Amino acid sequence: MREPSSPASIPVDPSQQAVITRAFAVAEVAAEHLVRVSPTLDRDRVEYVVASVLLEEAWVGGS
């Protein structure tokens, strides 16, 4: 399985950088809460999944 990329490692249009940065910030907080509820969850994977969903929604909603 491929390792997730951090937002800083992905070349992106500066206008989209704020959305990506915010999605990962929100995902980090969500992951912290979810891991407290279910300690068996992998925090990094949860954060990546939440950020992916948020970014997908941002791009689909913005289309």
pLDDT tens-digit series, residues 25-60: 999 999 999 999 999 999 999 999 999 999 999 887
* pTM (two decimals): 0.70
- 11 SS3 class: coil
pLDDT at position 1: 46
Instruction: With respect to residue 7, please indicate whether it lies within any of the assigned structural domains.
Output: no
DSSP state of 13: -
Asked if 48 and 37 count as a contact pair (C-beta separation under 8 A), the reply is: no
Instruction: With respect to residue 9, please indicate whether it lies within any of the assigned structural domains.
Output: no
Instruction: With respect to residue 37, please indicate whether it lies within any of the assigned structural domains.
Output: yes
Q: Which amino acid is at 50?
A: V
Q: From start to end of the chain, where are the E strands?
A: none
Instruction: With respect to residue 39, please indicate whether it lies within any of the assigned structural domains.
Output: yes
Instruction: With respect to residue 5, please indicate whether it lies within any of the assigned structural domains.
Output: no
Q: How many domains does the chain have?
A: 1
- 6 SS3 class: coil
DSSP state of 8: G
Cα-only R_g, the chain: 12
Segments forming the whole domain that contains residue 31? 14-62
